[in-house]
Amino acid sequence: MKFHSNTALPYPVIADKRDDYLDSFYNVESNVLATNNEVIITLKHSLSPYDIEKLITYSTELSFAVIIRCRSTFYKKVFFSQDKDQVLRVDSLQLRDDVWIEPYIVARKRTRVSSKSLNQEYGTQEIDYESGDVIAKALERKFIMSKDAFKPLESIFKIIKDEKLEEGEWELDAEPDKLELRVSPKLHELESNIRSTKLGRAVLLNSIYYAAVVEAIQVLKEDPMDTKWAKVLKSKMAPLGIDLERIPSYKIANILLNKPALRLSDIDFELNS
């Protein structure tokens, strides 16, 4: 089903840089969430003209057909849907390195499409499509899957006790392969004492780790870097579609740490007990 915008076809197609259908479009917004077990790909299809949309919504003559393709693992699968809001789930072991999302609209059986949007060059307002014909093609998108994307974000840090720092102080060194979080002896003791509890980890995520991740992202904005910690951050951001340049550092940190403030919901219980 591989299709290029400049491909010569005997029937009209909605695609970028083509005018087979006038004032028409087919766009797909995508979001990718990677977990240890699966990759969840959420798609939102939008298209015009309505003549084509209704053949998808109210019949099975046409369908959205999204190909997920990974050259490294030889994975390739077509996901069909009649719903403009589509959710795909793929076993995380099936995807590695570059993964492509290729959205199409295809004929599922012989179908006649009537549309006033057809270019007059076709000399008609009705076109017959055979089963398997491409009706529309949206821009494809690539995301990157890496084994580092499944590591806890805390794994990019190395906690080091620094006797020179005053009580409560900490510093971040972004030059080594792991981010070196240098902390005062008092902070080092506190971190060691509370990290084994659920509440303690929540407190650490919302204090020193959150601040350190924000600082690390800011460093990455100013210098792409090629250290191990930088690669891990990039591998975690890529499947989520995070735009490093446009999104503020604190918002990216909140996404990567999975909204850590919500983990503080247990504090009231412990304080009032």
CATH number reported for the structural domain that contains residue 65 in this entry: 2.60.40.10
CB atoms within 10 A of CB 103: 22
pLDDT of res. 11:
87
236 touches 256 (CB < 8 A): yes
Confidence bin at 210 (pLDDT 50/70/90): very high
Residues 87 and 178 in one domain: no
Q: Which 8-state DSSP code applies to residue 140?
A: P
pLDDT of res. 151:
66
CA–CA separation, 81 vs 77, rounded Å?
13
pLDDT of res. 93:
86
Residues 53 and 140 in one domain: yes
pLDDT tens-digit series, residues 88-117: 999 988 988 889 999 999 999 999 988 888
Kindly state whether residue 6 falls inside one of the protein's structural domains: no
Q: Please state the pTM of the whole predicted model.
A: 0.61
pLDDT of res. 273:
44
| Beta carbons within 8 Å of 251's beta carbon, 6+ residues apart | none
Whether the per-residue pLDDT at 225 is higher than 80: the answer is yes
Residues 141 and 178 in one domain: no
Kindly state whether residue 156 falls inside one of the protein's structural domains: yes
Residues 265 and 197 in one domain: yes
Kindly state whether residue 161 falls inside one of the protein's structural domains: yes
Which structure tokens are listed for 142? 């690539």
Span 246-262, average pLDDT: 90
pLDDT of res. 81:
95
Kindly state whether residue 218 falls inside one of the protein's structural domains: yes
Kindly state whether residue 1 falls inside one of the protein's structural domains: no
The residue among 115, 145, 175 that closes a domain is 145
Whether the per-residue pLDDT at 147 is higher than 50: the answer is yes
Average of per-residue pLDDT values in the chain: 87
Residues 266 and 164 in one domain: yes
| Beta carbons within 8 Å of 231's beta carbon, 6+ residues apart | 146, 148
82 touches 64 (CB < 8 A): yes
Residues 129 and 160 in one domain: no
Kindly state whether residue 177 falls inside one of the protein's structural domains: yes
Span 24-52, average pLDDT: 88
| pLDDT > 70: percent of the chain | 91
Nearest to 173 by CA among 186, 159, 155: 159
Residues 114 and 189 in one domain: no
Confidence bin at 271 (pLDDT 50/70/90): very low
Q: Give the structural domain span for 32.
A: 25-145
Whether the per-residue pLDDT at 31 is higher than 60: the answer is yes
Domain count, the chain: 2
Nearest to 79 by CA among 47, 41, 35, 53: 41
Q: E-assigned strands of the chain?
A: 25-34, 38-48, 62-70, 75-81, 85-91, 97-107, 111-114, 126-129, 134-137, 141-145, 157-161, 170-173, 179-183
Whether the per-residue pLDDT at 272 is higher than 50: the answer is no
Kindly state whether residue 8 falls inside one of the protein's structural domains: no
Kindly state whether residue 10 falls inside one of the protein's structural domains: no
b/e map 222-243, b = 16+ CB within 10 Å: eeebebebbebbbbbbbbeebe
